[in-house]
Amino acid sequence: MELLQGTLDLLILRTLAPGPAHGHAIAKAIERQSEDVLQVEQGSLYPALHRLIRRGWITAEEGVSENNRRAKFYRLTAKGRKQLHLETTRWEKLARAIARILKPAEENPL
Amino acid sequence: MNRRQRALAGLEEDIREHLDRETRDNIERGMPPGEARAAAVRKFGNVAMVEEETRAVWRRPWVDQLLQDLGFAFRVLRRAPAFTAVAILTLAVGIGLNTAVFSVVNSVLLRPLDYPHPERLVWLGEYDTFTHHDMVMLSDFAEWRTHARSYSAMAAFSYQQIAVANSRGAFPVSAVLIGGDFWTLSGASPALGRLFAPSEPSSLVVSWEVFQRQFGADPHVIGSAVTVDGRAATVCGVLPKGYRFQFPRWWAVQHPEPVEAYLPIDQGDPKIRGRGGQVVASLKPGVSISQALAELKLIQQSLHPPAPPSRLHIDPLLDQLTSGARRALAVLLAAGSLLLLMASVNIASLLLARASARRRELAIRLAMGAGRFRALRQLLVESLTLALLGGAAGLLLARCAIALLVRLGPQSIPRLDEVAMDICVLAFTICISIAAGILFGVAPGVALWRTDLHDALKEGARSTGGAFGLRIRRLLVAGEMAMAVVLLTGAGLLLASFLRMNARPAGFAPEKVLLMKIRLAGTQYTPAAQQGYRNELLRRLGSTPGVESAGISTQFGWSGAPAFPNDPSPTQTHVLHLNAASPGYFRAIGMQLLKGRWLSDADQGGVVMLNESMAREAFGAVDPIGRSLSAPQPAVVIGVLADLRYSHLDADAPPEVFLPFPNRMMLSFDLAVRAANPAGLLPSIRREMAALDPTQPAYDVKTLDRALADSIAPHRFNLFLLGTFAASAFVLALVGIYGVIAYAVAARTREIGVRVALGAQRGDVVGMVVREGMAIAIAGIVAGMAAALALTRLMASLLYGVNTTDPRIFAAASVTLAVTALLASWWPARKAAGIDPTIALRDE
């Protein structure tokens, strides 16, 4: 299934909500959590990450991974957390609205 | 490191790390290592593309596109070096001349004076109808200073050339007598010694330059005794190096040299109290000029009860200082703007021609998906690049022009010696460059906007289109013609007026007349001793070989109501110029007797000669010879002289009365000597004077020719600048009309070929092309004459003896341009007539 435009940003923010992670871990988490429904070229993660850094929603910091190699860790900022909340609410509203439109009979048994 | 660099650092490592982990995961899932890596890369996508896209996130699109446009603009300009050179040169002239004029305006009119609180400094003037400048009696000044409450400081100064002598010798120097708070107002502090107090007679303060030049920079000069015009005085101080006398100098036209010595107005000497001077003051904070003037009028009324002080005025000092230059600079600025407009129009026209040639290039770019705005911006960037290059060249040109202007004569415009380029000038240049760039970038932009993609591409290699561009270009060139008419007419009026000023009657020959001023100073010069000096000087000069004629003169004014026979009422007031001269003076200057006889040595008083204007003013059409003139003293008119402008060239000769030189106290007088070679004669004249009295130097030694030229220095300055503008405008108009006609002919090669093939004669073709050029030119010239008629009125105060609507000047400017246009279109027309139809038609 193709990703909707802008959705990747939201997914990254959601993935980083529990704590910082490096690029590969983010990609894995998105695949896992969406039960492989959302197929995305892992590479497209990077432009998205940098877009988020530029907007100030996440930061990147140098760290050392578990097998002692240098890696970049991405962390949600306060601004990013607020954005995540905003976007999530918007998505939920949208999803509910679409769901109502698609299944009017069940919701409105006249 | 900025955010962008910090974020992008280690991007490759990050990606490599990502791929390694994925590979490891794949291996853990049981893939063979080689396949695991390939699968990881497959899943990741194109690594190079990802990196590029990630970098793109950080890019500011407009900066990159601007850089791209700039690079493209430079390539385009380099590919057409001839066009680029012409355009930059045109702009350099337009922008450079404007920058030069603005530098003058900036330094003269806009920059405040170097004195403390320049915004509060005012000029207190009383216009004097005889000398035509502001003059305040120093006795009045003393009263003003005592009684006026509007000022925190008030000072007077009075110009005088003095001779300073000490053991090293004597030297003449331009000085001012100063009184009141002069030092406070001008913010002076001494570099050496001290500044004298207002009531401290017999003191002298000199400039740093005089201290270096005349006193050998010897600090012991402080407190030493000198004589100033024969009276003992003490040098009490030296001013610092940068200190300059910056107050208005009415004498600057005749005596441009700087003021370098300062003396106190000697309060004890009644003769000095009776002399005139100029007054400056500093207003108290919160006091307005009108309040100050009301107070001053009350004070003056109480000093001179019968007559109301109508000629009193107070002005901001800077306005007073530059009032004479204001109108001229405004005219020059306007002329400069017109010229820059013409330059822009010319370049717009060139760009339009190129735009039609580039239609296909642009059409292809549009067809490939470039937005029209993007393409438009590309054109604008090209124009602006061109404009800024032109501006840079213009700055260089302006530097040379300013150097030339300053050398042209510091007496032409006050403060001209201060002119320099500063940040304001630079900002001005950049602004007008950008404005010009937008101006001439718009026309090709509009042409592009109207480009029909389909047509442009369909036309194939033949890029004849651009009928719209040609229409705009005709309009532009007509406008350019109109502006050229305005500039040429303005310059023509100045030139005619300048020629009128320099017109001189036959036999005047002012280049053969040597003038100098002599002021006998010192207690030994009793009236009898003075007379002895004068008689002996004239006797010696009379027998000096080479001297054709020599005489002395002194000029003064008289005003009152003398009840001349020609007056409509006996209370009519007159201002008379009086010139008391020895008989040799009239021949030395070169005056002409119209009626009656000359004054002779035998005439002691009771007889006068008049110039024509004076005769007309007093007696009307009646023959004045033998009649009695009631003023200044009753005298019989014995002769009438032709009017001669021998002191100022930019005004008609004033009514003048010539009297015998008086045998009274007459400290200073002018000497005039006529000789075939005045410069060669000067050493022998100096020798004769030194033999008489070596302590009395001559001042202001110059030929009459030189003195007259100095009197119109500002006019020469204006003429030079406006003339340069007009000449540039002329060339631009010529190039403009030639460019359009030549282009039109080139675009119509095929059509003309067909006409010739169908039997059109050479004459028909030439006539057709020339008619097209002349239609544009005539339309422009007619519009230009109308505009000139409205604009030249602003020049009235700059002209002498020429009407602002002088039809001859208008006709000359128009005919010059019409003939130019004829030649400019005849040249391409001849080429058109030579078109060979077989070649033209094959030329597909």
Look-up of token digits 């920079």: B217
Q: Are residues B218 and B287 in the same domain?
A: yes
What are the pLDDT digits (tens) for B183-213? 999 888 999 999 998 778 889 999 999 999 8
Q: Do B58 and A41 touch (CB under 8 A)?
A: no
Q: Are residues B195 and B96 in the same domain?
A: no
B464: pLDDT strictly greater than 50: no
Q: Are residues B197 and B279 in the same domain?
A: yes
What is the pTM (predicted TM-score) of this model?
A: 0.74
Last residue of a domain, one of B695, B729, B754: B695
Least confident of B471-475, B492-496, B609-613, B634-638: B471-475
Please, which pLDDT band fits residue B575 given cuts at 50, 70 and 90? confident
Q: What is the pLDDT of residue B139?
A: 85
3-class SS at B574?
Answer: strand
Least confident of B129-133, B215-219, B711-715: B129-133
Please, which pLDDT band fits residue B17 given cuts at 50, 70 and 90? confident
Q: Do A65 and B17 touch (CB under 8 A)?
A: yes
Q: What is the pLDDT of residue B452?
A: 66
- Torsional sign, CA B188, B189, B192, B197: positive
Q: Are residues B555 and B434 in the same domain?
A: no
B814 CB-near residues (< 8 Å, 6+ apart): B485, B781, B784, B785
d(CA B328, CA B343): 22
Chain A residues in contact with B51 by the CB 8 A cut-off are: 46
B810: pLDDT strictly greater than 90: yes
Top pLDDT among B757 and B462 is at B757
The torsion angles phi and psi of B691, rounded to 5 degrees, stand at: -65, -30
d(CA B246, CA B123): 13
Please, which pLDDT band fits residue B463 given cuts at 50, 70 and 90? very low
Q: Which of B15, B16, B21 best probes binding to A when mutated, by most A CB atoms within 10 angstroms?
A: B21
d(CA B667, CA B438): 66
Q: What is the pLDDT of residue B122?
A: 94
Please, which pLDDT band fits residue B462 given cuts at 50, 70 and 90? very low
Question: B123: which strand partners?
Answer: B280, B315
Q: Are residues B622 and B645 in the same domain?
A: yes
Q: Do B43 and A41 touch (CB under 8 A)?
A: yes
Q: What is the pLDDT of residue A76?
A: 92
Q: Are residues B449 and B571 in the same domain?
A: no
User: Do the domain assignments include residue B267?
Assistant: yes
One-letter amino acid at B137 equals M
Q: Do A54 and B21 touch (CB under 8 A)?
A: no
Whole-complex ipTM: 0.85
> If you average pLDDT over residues B157-166, what whole number do you get?
85
Q: Is cis: bond before B632, omega within 30 of 0?
A: yes
User: Do the domain assignments include residue B803?
Assistant: yes
Q: Do B17 and A22 touch (CB under 8 A)?
A: yes
CATH architecture, domain A7-103: Orthogonal Bundle (1.10)
> If you average pLDDT over residues B677-699, what whole number do you get?
86
* Closest to B673 in 3D by CA, of B517, B504, B506: B517
d(CA B765, CA B763): 5
Top pLDDT among B353 and B707 is at B707
B243 CB-near residues (< 8 Å, 6+ apart): B186, B188, B207, B208
User: Do the domain assignments include residue B701?
Assistant: no
One-letter amino acid at B801 equals G
Q: How many domains does chain B have?
A: 5
Instruction: Inform me whether the C-beta atom of residue B21 falls under 8 Å from chain A C-beta atoms.
Output: yes
**Nearest-neighbour CA in chain A from B328: distance (Å):** 58
B241: pLDDT strictly greater than 50: yes
Q: Are residues B450 and B479 in the same domain?
A: no
Q: Among B3, B21, B54, select the one facing A46 at the smallest CB separation.
A: B54
Q: Which domain holds residue B364?
A: 61-116+325-465
At CA B166, angle to CA B163 and CA B168, rounded to 5? 110
Q: What is the pLDDT of residue B456?
A: 64
Query: Where along chain A do its domains lie?
Result: 7-103
3-class SS at B774?
Answer: helix
Look-up of token digits 């006889």: B597
What are the pLDDT digits (tens) for B523-548? 777 778 888 888 999 999 988 888 99
* B22 → chain A, closest CA residue: A24
Q: Do A46 and B58 touch (CB under 8 A)?
A: no
B560: pLDDT strictly greater than 60: yes
> If you average pLDDT over residues B545-567, what whole number do you get?
86
What are the pLDDT digits (tens) for B94-130? 999 999 999 988 988 888 888 888 889 999 998 887 7
Q: Which two tokens stand for residue A88?
A: 């999530």
**Nearest-neighbour CA in chain B from A41: distance (Å):** 5
Q: What does DSSP say about strands A21-22 and A70-76: parallel, antiparallel, or unpaired?
A: antiparallel
Q: What is the pLDDT of residue B392?
A: 95
In B, residues 200-259, which contact A (CB 8 Å cutoff)?
none
Q: Do A42 and B18 touch (CB under 8 A)?
A: yes
Q: Which of A12, A24, A70 best probes binding to B when mutated, by most B CB atoms within 10 angstroms?
A: A24
d(CA B448, CA B356): 9
Q: Which of B22, B57, B59, B60 best probes binding to A when mutated, by most A CB atoms within 10 angstroms?
A: B57
Chain B residues in contact with A71 by the CB 8 A cut-off are: 14, 17
> If you average pLDDT over residues A6-22, what whole number do you get?
87
Percentage of chain B exceeding pLDDT 90? 32
- Torsional sign, CA B393, B399, B404, B406: positive
Q: Are residues B527 and B675 in the same domain?
A: yes
B587: pLDDT strictly greater than 50: yes
Q: Are residues B390 and B526 in the same domain?
A: no
* A44 → chain B, closest CA residue: B50
Q: Do B17 and A46 touch (CB under 8 A)?
A: no
User: Do the domain assignments include residue B703?
Assistant: no
What are the pLDDT digits (tens) for B325-343? 888 888 889 999 999 999 9
d(CA B263, CA B177): 5
B702: pLDDT strictly greater than 60: yes
> If you average pLDDT over residues A58-81, what whole number do you get?
82
How far CA B801 is from CA of B98, B147, B323, in Å, comes to 29, 45, 22
d(CA B523, CA B588): 31
Chain B residues in contact with A39 by the CB 8 A cut-off are: none
d(CA B254, CA B256): 6
B16: pLDDT strictly greater than 60: yes
Chain B residues in contact with A69 by the CB 8 A cut-off are: 17
Q: What is the pLDDT of residue B273?
A: 62
d(CA B803, CA B792): 10
Last residue of a domain, one of B695, B726, B759: B695
Please, which pLDDT band fits residue B765 given cuts at 50, 70 and 90? confident
Instruction: Inform me whether the C-beta atom of residue B46 falls under 8 Å from chain A C-beta atoms.
Output: yes
Q: What is the pLDDT of residue B695?
A: 76
Q: Among B3, B44, B57, select the one facing A43 at the smallest CB separation.
A: B44
User: Do the domain assignments include residue B124?
Assistant: no
Please give the mean pLDDT across all residues of chain B.
86
Q: What is the pLDDT of residue B608?
A: 93
Q: Are residues B542 and B682 in the same domain?
A: yes
Q: What is the pLDDT of residue B836?
A: 80
Chain A residues in contact with B13 by the CB 8 A cut-off are: 70
B590: pLDDT strictly greater than 50: yes
Q: Among B44, B49, B57, select the one facing A42 at the smallest CB separation.
A: B44
A67: pLDDT strictly greater than 70: no
**Nearest-neighbour CA in chain A from B369: distance (Å):** 24
User: Do the domain assignments include residue B315?
Assistant: no
Size of interface A-B (CB pairs under 8 A): 67
What are the pLDDT digits (tens) for B53-104? 888 888 777 787 788 888 988 998 898 888 899 899 999 999 999 999 999 8
B430: pLDDT strictly greater than 90: yes
Q: What is the pLDDT of residue A1?
A: 47
Chain A residues in contact with B43 by the CB 8 A cut-off are: 41-42
Q: Are residues B649 and B723 in the same domain?
A: no
Q: What is the pLDDT of residue A5?
A: 55
d(CA B259, CA A25): 86
Q: Are residues B201 and B290 in the same domain?
A: yes
Q: What is the pLDDT of residue B454?
A: 67
Q: What is the pLDDT of residue B808?
A: 93
**C-beta neighbour count of B173 within 10 angstroms:** 23
* A45 → chain B, closest CA residue: B50
> If you average pLDDT over residues A46-53, what whole number do you get?
90
Last residue of a domain, one of B695, B725, B760: B695
Top pLDDT among B95 and B467 is at B95
What are the pLDDT digits (tens) for B666-684? 667 899 999 999 888 988 9
One-letter amino acid at B62 equals W
Chain A residues in contact with B54 by the CB 8 A cut-off are: 46-47, 49-50
Q: Do A50 and B58 touch (CB under 8 A)?
A: yes
HSE-CB for B331 with a 13 A CA cutoff:
31
Q: Do A42 and B57 touch (CB under 8 A)?
A: no
B775: pLDDT strictly greater than 80: yes
